[in-house]
């Protein structure tokens, strides 16, 4: 087994255990291996260990990698997506995680209709209220969900967040709990075309508390592939 494959299996094991400990079925949380900046060879190592869900945050890199890797991979677009890049990825992803504006949702809808498909999206929440972060504020989200839900060509499958960087992963538990509550509040609005099936939250440093609080996708890069070198991109 490769080092990458080994890391993947160890974290998968943790995710399964944390699911069971919090009373959930172990398949209720999917481990997405975040492969941004990482070469195709390392992605194959994780694939050979059984991983089928990979996350990328850069459109060009995603588009380059897709044809070089097996067709049964589910690609997750997890980064900040610019409206003018949407046309390159629509139809190629399993899920678009970081939808952070009505305008972006509109463009995804428009390109999807053009391609005769419906795209599954997650709305990004700035749960820590950080200046530097993308995403809707919780109260703002409650207001815009009905508007976004009317856009043709998309399905709102849930919410996504990147919690603040923290020393102790337990510090972010409250943010993950707030995300879960927010998804319950949105579900209560009973808007057509809004599902709230998925919560994408938790990264290398804090995925353990995210699983405990109900994450359906954890996005783990460094702990599987090692540190990133952005100069190679």
Ligand X SMILES: *Cc1c(COP(=O)(O)O)cnc(C)c1O
Residue 59 touches ligand X, criterion: CB under 6 A: no
Contact between 82 and ligand X (CB under 6 A)? no
CB of 21 to ligand X, least distance (A): 21
Does position 34 interact with ligand X (CB under 6 A)? The reply is yes
| Residue from 79, 135, 153, 169 in contact with ligand X (CB under 6 A) | 79
Stretch in the footprint of ligand X (CB under 6 A) among 63-71, 148-156, 173-181, 200-208: 200-208
Q: Which of 16, 36, 65, 110 binds ligand X (CB under 6 A)?
A: 36
C-alpha to C-alpha distance for 48 and 42, rounded to whole angstroms: 10
Residue least distant from ligand X (Cβ)? 221
Q: Please choose, from the candidates 86, 3, 5, 6, the residue with its C-alpha nearest in 3D space to the C-alpha of residue 47.
A: 5
* DSSP-derived 3-state class of residue 119: strand
Cα–Cα distances in angstroms (integers) from residue 220 to residues 31, 75, 156, 194, 225, in the given order: 7, 14, 23, 26, 9
Quick one: which segment of 13-21, 65-73, 182-190, 217-225 binds ligand X (CB under 6 A)?
217-225
- HEC letters along 104-118: HHHHHHHHHHHCCCC
Q: Is 174 exposed, middle or buried (0-12, 13-18, 19+ CB in 10 A)?
A: middle
DSSP, collapsed to helix, strand or coil, labels residue 172 as helix
Q: Given the rule CB under 6 A, which of 23-31, 88-96, 115-123, 218-226 is the region that contacts ligand X? A: 218-226
**Cβ neighbours around 86 below 10 Å, total:** 22
Is there a contact between 140 and 106 (Cβ–Cβ < 8 Å)?
no
Binding to ligand X by residue 221, rule CB under 6 A?
yes
Residue matched to tokens 């850069």: 58
Asked whether position 220 contacts ligand X by CB under 6 A, the answer is: yes
Binding ligand X by CB under 6 A: which of 122, 156, 203, 211?
A: 203
Q: Between 146 and 205, whose beta carbon lies closer to ligand X? A: 205
Q: Please report, to the nearest 10 degrees, the dihedral formed by the alpha carbons of residues 131, 133, 137, 140 taken in order.
A: 100
Stretch that binds ligand X, among 68-76, 131-139, 147-155, 221-229 (CB under 6 A): 221-229
* Minimal distance, residue 134 CB to ligand X, in Å: 9
Contacts with ligand X, 98-137, as mask; x by CB under 6 A: ----------------------------------------
Residue ranges binding ligand X (CB under 6 A): 34, 36, 57, 78-79, 162, 203-205, 219-223
């Amino acid at each position: 087994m490769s080092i990458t494959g080994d890391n993947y299996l160890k974290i998968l094991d943790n995710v399964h255990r944390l699911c069971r400990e919090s009373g959930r079925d172990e398949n209720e949380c999917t481990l997405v291996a975040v492969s941004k900046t990482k070469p195709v060879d390392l992605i194959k190592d994780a694939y050979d260990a059984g991983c089928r869900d990979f996350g990328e945050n850069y459109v060009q890199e995603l588009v380059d990698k897709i044809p070089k890797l097996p067709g049964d991979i589910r690609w997750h677009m997890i980064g900040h997506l610019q409206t003018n890049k949407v046309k390159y990825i629509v139809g190629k992803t399993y899920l678009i995680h970081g939808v952070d504006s009505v305008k972006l949702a509109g463009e995804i809808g428009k390109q999807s209709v053009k391609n005769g498909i419906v795209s599954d999206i997650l709305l990004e929440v700035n749960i820590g209220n950080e200046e530097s972060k993308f995403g809707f504020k919780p109260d703002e989200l409650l207001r815009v969900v009905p508007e976004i839900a009317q856009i043709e060509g998309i399905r709102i499958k849930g919410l996504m967040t990147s919690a603040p960087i923290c020393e102790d992963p337990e510090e972010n538990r409250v943010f993950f709990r707030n995300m879960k509550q927010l998804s319950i509040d949105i579900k209560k609005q009973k808007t057509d075309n809004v599902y709230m099936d998925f919560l994408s939250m938790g990264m290398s440093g804090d995925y353990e508390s995210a699983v405990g609080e109900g994450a359906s996708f954890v996005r783990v890069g460094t702990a599987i592939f090692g540190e990133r070198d952005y100069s190679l991109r």
